[in-house]
Amino acid sequence: MHPTNSGVTRFTVFAALFLLLLSMPTASWSQSSSVDSSSNEQDFVPLHPGSIAPAFSEKDILGRQMISLNAYKGKAVILNFWATWCPPCREEIPALVDLQKKYKGILAVIGVSIFSSNTETELFYRDYKINYPVIYGFYELMGEYSKVASVPTTFLIDKQGKVTARVVGSRTEAEYEQLLRPLLAN
């Protein structure tokens, strides 16, 4: 095969796979939601309400500290799976930064970077001035959290460590505050 044809063939295959990935629908779940009906309930469906969130313990992306979900018992947790190349993720991150700042002490935001290189993730972390811990995601963790297939996907976890909702897609600070209100009470 001629060298230039090989590069064209690889590019064509890559482009076709990328377009196929983009055309895949996001997962939808049955509507057994207890979220306020004034919002789009289909996107705020609880994930096995009351089930214990799968535990994990991973070093943060800078290698400075161990991030363990169990260490956040007693706080509400936003566990956000995202990617550096994802436009909705880029829109949502500033809201998560603001929530971490506003509810420090009673809320913990944990970012899980998936499908992004370490360098891209670390640059993104610094550029967006992320003020909460971020870990590198791995397939086992994604599987434990209902096979995370699209980004952003966020899990809300109550003070006892139970999953209360799975949110697919980007949300504003106000939308998250509405969802967090019952978790931050008491």
The rounded distance, in Å, linking the Cα atoms of 174 and 135 is: 25
More confident residue, 161 or 13: 161
The answer to whether residue 18 sits within a structural domain is no
Give residue 41's identity as a one-letter amino acid code.
E
Average pLDDT over residues 33-42: 35
Domain that residue 80 falls in = 40-184
Query: What does the pLDDT look like over 93-135, one tens digit per residue?
Result: 999 999 999 999 999 999 999 999 999 999 999 999 999 999 9
The answer to whether residue 17 sits within a structural domain is no
The answer to whether residue 170 sits within a structural domain is yes
The CATH number linked to 85 is 3.40.30.10
| Whether the predicted pLDDT of 36 surpasses 50 | no
What string of DSSP letters covers 22-79? HHSPPP-------S-TTS-GGGEE-SSTTPBPPP-EEEBTTSS-EEEGGGGTTSEEEE
Q: Tell me how many domains the chain contains.
A: 1
More confident residue, 149 or 182: 182
The rounded distance, in Å, linking the Cα atoms of 69 and 58 is: 9
The answer to whether residue 24 sits within a structural domain is no
The answer to whether residue 80 sits within a structural domain is yes
Query: What does the pLDDT look like over 65-89, one tens digit per residue?
Result: 999 999 999 999 999 999 999 999 9
The rounded distance, in Å, linking the Cα atoms of 56 and 144 is: 10
Residue 43: the pLDDT is 47
pLDDT band at 168 (very low <50, low <70, confident <90, very high): very high
Residue 29: the pLDDT is 29
The answer to whether residue 144 sits within a structural domain is yes
Query: What is the Cα 108 distance to its own chain's centre?
Result: 13
Closest CA to 145 of 48, 1, 42, 29: 48
The answer to whether residue 56 sits within a structural domain is yes
The answer to whether residue 177 sits within a structural domain is yes
Percent of the chain at pLDDT > 70 equals 73
Residues facing 112 on adjacent strands:
81, 135
Residue 51: the pLDDT is 86
Average pLDDT over residues 7-33: 39
Residue 147: the pLDDT is 81
The rounded distance, in Å, linking the Cα atoms of 132 and 134 is: 7
What string of DSSP letters covers 100-169? HHHTBTTEEEEEEE-SS-HHHHHHHHHHTT--S-EEE--HHHHHHTT---SSSEEEEE-TTSBEEEEEES
Decide if 138 contacts 148 (C-beta within 8 A): no
Average pLDDT over residues 136-162: 92
